[in-house]
Every structure is written in C-alpha cells, then in structure tokens.
Chain A
Amino acid sequence: AQSVTQPDIHITVSEGASLELRCNYSYGATPYLFWYVQSPGQGLQLLLKYFSGDTLVQGIKGFEAEFKRSQSSFNLRKPSVHWSDAAEYFCAVGGGGRRALTFGSGTRLQVQP
C-alpha cells in the first residue's frame, strides 16, 4: 500500500527566510510524486511533480523539490518565502493511470512579517 508522511504539522517562518517542507513516501514501484498547495476553503493547486529523470524538480512560484530514492523523500524547498505563501501544503504519491493519489496529512505554513 502506498502512504505519505509529512512529519511537520505546522511550520512558521519569517518572510524572506528559506523553507523546507518534508515528505516521506512508501510505494512499491517507481512513484509519481506531487506537491499541492491549498488556500483556506479552496481547491488544490499543483506546485510541481516528479515522474522520472532529473531528481531536482522546478515548480511554480519559485518552489523546487528533490526526489531522493535512498531516503524515500521528496522535500519541498523555497529559497525566500513570501507572505502569500502562507497556506496548507500537501505531498502526494500515485502510480498514474486509473489510480488515485494518496495524500499526506499536510503542513500548514505561516509566514511572519
């Protein structure tokens, strides 16, 4: 069975500081990995995805993530956080085709001025 763990429930960073959100996954084959962002009461927006190839993936809004197979991790990073980045972030794993994504429990990001 596939699963995703996001160890940090809540993170607070200062505006302009760097950010790293952790994600560990369990999947029996080569995973498809995703990071989504959700603002309160809204749907999900895809930040980036990894299917294969280069393990460092660039996404929208200045986010990037690195796939590390040996650590079963897919951590999300941003060098300088903006106040508008405050939201809930979900890591997800899936196998494509007719299979659904499995989501982590989410990390709520607060940005201090």
Chain B
Amino acid sequence: GAVVSQHPSRVICKSGTSVKIECRSLDFQATTMFWYRQFPKQSLMLMATSNEGSKATYEQGVEKDKFLINHASLTLSTLTVTSAHPEDSSFYICSAREGPKLSGELFFGEGSRLTVL
C-alpha cells in the first residue's frame, strides 16, 4: 500500500525555538495532505488542510502564524511550529490522499512527537 513518511519521529526543543516536521508521500502524488494533532489519550484533531501550490486551510482555533504549513510539491508538506512553547508539546500526524479520488483512503504517517522544554 501507499506509504507516508514523517520526519522526525521525535523531537525535543527549547521553548522559543522553531521546529519543522516533514511529511512525504513516498510512492504516490498527494495533492492534499492533512495535519492532525493528538494530545495524550485523546483523539486526532484536524489542524489544517494542505493543498499543493496554494495556501493551507486552517481549522477554527488553530493559529496560522504559529503553525506554518507549506505544501511545495506533490510529495512533500511541512509543518513548522514557530516559537514553540510547552503547550505545543503533542503528537503531530500527517495524512495524505492519493490524487483527488473520491474513494479516498487516507494514508497516515507514523507521527512526530514534539516535546518543548
């Protein structure tokens, strides 16, 4: 099946620094990627929809300037957490859908655990 790779899988950073997380579709082209956030023992909450070549669409309550999303190619989307603070510590998961198919199974990355000290 299709593979979505996230990097890094774990990252620890100091408060105030920025962290970039990459999401790559390895064997298919993804015109749309989604970024989710998961707090411990909770469900996945959609943060934003990343569309190749255009601006991301953010969910209500998600700060655009804090969570920068770039989808520069059909196989790569990046999430940058700017000026990270301890409350940004979370598990971030990306997912990608192959092309615009309506029967769209989403393929998920393995997730990136961010810890802000």
Contacts and interface: CB of A to CB of B under 8 A. Distances in A.
A100 B43 contact: no
Interface in B91-117: 91, 93, 95, 97, 100-106, 108-111, 113
Interface residues of A, number: 24
Nearest to A90: B43
Interface residues of B, number: 29
Contacts of B43: 90, 103-106
Nearest to B31: A98
A96 B108 contact: no
A97 B104 contact: yes
A33 to B, nearest CB: 12
9 contacts: A36-B108, A41-B91, A41-B113, A43-B111, A94-B104, A96-B102, A96-B104, A98-B100, A103-B43
